[in-house]
Amino acid sequence: MQKDLLKMDDLSKEEILDILNLADQLKYEQKHGIEHHHLKGKSLGMIFEKSSTRTRVSFEVGMYQLGGNALFLSNKDLQIGRGEPIQDTARVLSRFLDGIMIRTYSQEDIEVLAKNSSIPIINGLTDEEHPCQVLADLMTIREYKNILEGLNVAFIGDGNNMANSLMVGCLKVGMNFSIASPENYTANEKYLNRAKEIAEKENVKFTKTTSPLEAAKNADVIITDVWASMGQEKEQLARIKAFNGFQVNDNLMSVAKNDAIVLHCLPAHREEEITTKVLEEHSSEIFDESENRLHAQKAVLVKLMK
């Protein structure tokens, strides 16, 4: 496995499955009180330019359970917030830490950070990618379905960072993937083209549509996300109008398989992208998915920092 995890496409199919297998093992050990201090004495710096619940808590607790420690670093804590170049911050932190997790806006910034660091860099979320969340999603799907290859996954909603990483991750492990977004809110062309390439290589089906019902037909897994992500709050009203008909509700679920599961990376805007009824009926999957951020990320930390 290479030094960093900056985007989902950094991982091969084999590396994804290797991480999931280790995540399963670490979850079993944690549930049975078996210590696994693989990162004893190691320190992870956690840079947050975007607020977080799941990302901060899961990485911080994960490092503790692995025998290491984590440092929370906001813009106010770093000179980067006062104009220090990312390149200089990267070289300084590389002298103190064993790894960095960063949750920020620009994918370019994280690429620059990695280029100038001598330690592993992990993408905790950018506007373009969310690989750690997708690893947790794949872990959850496999827990519920006992398999990944051949399953039908439908993403309903904004062509955002989740959509980008999900396309790549799901297709790489042999799942059929459909994405339904309004015309002006579809995923980045770069990711759509990459998805087509992977689908052809893996001999699976990739579908891009503006029809939620078409995407959800015979789906084993339905995934959604908020319609307005962080930084898009001013677009909220326009997006609610544009996404009319893209709600995960009983009507949409009626065309999926009877045993379909529903995932949401949270936080959810109930009665917007998903109804409270559907969310509560599938709360087991959704909150297992949330917990699996801890286990999947611990596996990434061990793979990159041990």
Q: Of the residues 38, 142, 293, 295, which is catalytic?
A: 293
Does residue 32 have a known ligand-binding role? no
Does residue 269 have a known ligand-binding role? no
- The conformational region for residue 83 under phi > 0 = left, psi -120 to 50 = alpha, else beta, is left
- 133 catalytic? Reply is yes
Does residue 4 have a known ligand-binding role? no
Does residue 10 have a known ligand-binding role? no
Does residue 54 have a known ligand-binding role? yes
- 293 catalytic? Reply is yes
Q: How far is CA 163 from the centre of its chain?
A: 9
Integer Cα distance of 174 and 176 in angstroms = 7
Q: Of the residues 137, 265, 282, 297, which is catalytic?
A: 265
**What are phi and psi for residue 97, nearest 5 degrees?**
-110, 170
Both tokens of 74, joined, read: 């906001």
Does residue 52 have a known ligand-binding role? yes
Q: Of the residues 38, 103, 264, 295, which is catalytic?
A: 103
Does residue 290 have a known ligand-binding role? no
Does residue 161 have a known ligand-binding role? yes
Does residue 133 have a known ligand-binding role? yes
Does residue 55 have a known ligand-binding role? yes
Does residue 65 have a known ligand-binding role? no
Q: Which residues pair with 178 in a beta bridge?
A: 154, 207
> Cα angle at 229 between 227 and 234, to 5 degrees?
90
Q: Of the residues 133, 158, 264, 295, which is catalytic?
A: 133
- 297 catalytic? Reply is no
Integer Cα distance of 296 and 140 in angstroms = 10
- 87 catalytic? Reply is no
Both tokens of 244, joined, read: 């009319």
> Cα angle at 30 between 24 and 34, to 5 degrees?
115
Q: What is the per-residue DSSP string for 121-171? A: EEEEE-SS--HHHHHHHHHHHHHHHS--TT-EEEEES--SHHHHHHHHHHH
- 24 catalytic? Reply is no
Q: Of the residues 4, 38, 98, 130, which is catalytic?
A: 130
| Residues in contact with 91: Cβ distance below 8 Å, sequence separation at least 6, in sequence order | 116, 117, 118
Does residue 118 have a known ligand-binding role? no
- 56 catalytic? Reply is no
Q: Edge to edge, what strands does the sheet with 43-48 contain?
A: 69-74, 43-48, 99-103, 121-125
Does residue 170 have a known ligand-binding role? no
Does residue 283 have a known ligand-binding role? no
Does residue 130 have a known ligand-binding role? yes
Q: Indicate the burial class of 210 (C-beta count within 10 angstroms; 0-12, 13-18, 19 or more).
A: middle
Does residue 225 have a known ligand-binding role? yes
Does residue 107 have a known ligand-binding role? no
Q: Of the residues 225, 239, 264, 295, which is catalytic?
A: 225
Residues that constitute the known binding site for carbamoyl phosphate:
52-55, 79, 103, 130-133, 265-266, 293
Could you give the residue numbers annotated as active site?
Answer: 103, 130, 133, 225, 265, 293
Residues that constitute the known binding site for L-ornithine:
161, 225, 229-230
Residues that constitute the known binding site:
52-55, 79, 103, 130-133, 161, 225, 229-230, 265-266, 293
